[in-house]
Amino acid sequence: MNQSSAMDLRGKVVLVTGAGRGIGAAIATAFAREGALVAVNYLSNAAAAAQTVAACQAAGQDAGGDAWAVQADVGSGPAVQAMVEGIAREAGAIDIVVNNAFRPYAFDPERRSRFDALDWSDYQAQFDGAVGAAFNVCRAVLPQMRQRARGSIVNIASNLVEHPVVAYHDYTTAKASLVGFSRNLASELGPLGIRVNCVAPGLVYPTQGTQATKESFRESLMAATPLRRLASPGDVAGPVLFLASDLSAFMTGQVLFVDGGLVMR
């Protein structure tokens, strides 16, 4: 298998959740550039999703990539089921899923909630946002993948699960649970030809969640990072494409840290 054919994503049907902006938008655009048909999932911001679709269509011109927007609350099982059935009608069975959507969270070390200020409901909300959404999407897409004995699922975790440089208790606990969820799924689905992996970015700037982080904090983080900068949304897209494509055909249950070397393992 040579490298050029292994990356070939032309005509693959890809669902990216939470793709209206930030990391999700960068991932969707990267897939379209490689010739994929991308379902751009969004919750409520139709204008942002339309911008992502336009970016995908521009990026995909040469390779035949295309995109369209699909609205659904990934926190709702029935809404996800309806979305997945709609994608299959529109473009065919789904080949690749990227679970990127998460419950809104402000990454601000100065104003984070300390442990004794959090309620269990805060953890529950983040768990529902990270693991609950992935659960709903996987439940809906797996029958299509099982039928064809192939598929790739990439879940977006966080390097905080390995190195909680700031103690975002509820968010990081939920993302650690997402890693456990992914590995159990990888173990069960491997014999069926379906792979499940995670990409764990460090602080990605600028995004909606990180725009409040102080410059002094960003600078100290860059100084501690071997590659001496923060990730941009585009930095996360490459590793996601790698795990989605046949370049990583013999990888499952893995977590790829994309944080400039802050976490090394």
The one-letter code for the residue type at 217 is F
Residue 144 · residue 186 · CB < 8 Å? no
The pair of structure tokens assigned to 94 is: 């789904």
Query: How many CA atoms are closer than 13 Å to the CA of 265, on its beta-carbon side?
Result: 12
Catalytic-residue membership of 171 = yes
Q: Which of 42, 105, 168, 171 is catalytic?
A: 171
Determine the Cα–Cα distance for residues 179 and 23; give it in Å rounded to an integer. Answer: 18
- Name the phi and psi angles at 142, rounded to 5: -60, -35
Query: How far lies 108's CA from each of 166, 203, 208, in Å?
Result: 9, 11, 12
Which token pair is 237? 């897209």
CA dihedral 119→122→127→132, nearest 10 degrees, is 120
Choose among 94, 87, 92: nearest CA to 154: 94
Q: Where are the alpha helices (DSSP H) in 102-214?
A: 120-127, 133-148, 169-189
Which residues lie across from 196 on neighbouring strands?
153
**Distances in whole angstroms, Cα of residue 228 to Cα of each of 104, 232, 260, 261, 264:** 27, 13, 7, 9, 15
Indicate which residues carry an active-site annotation: 171
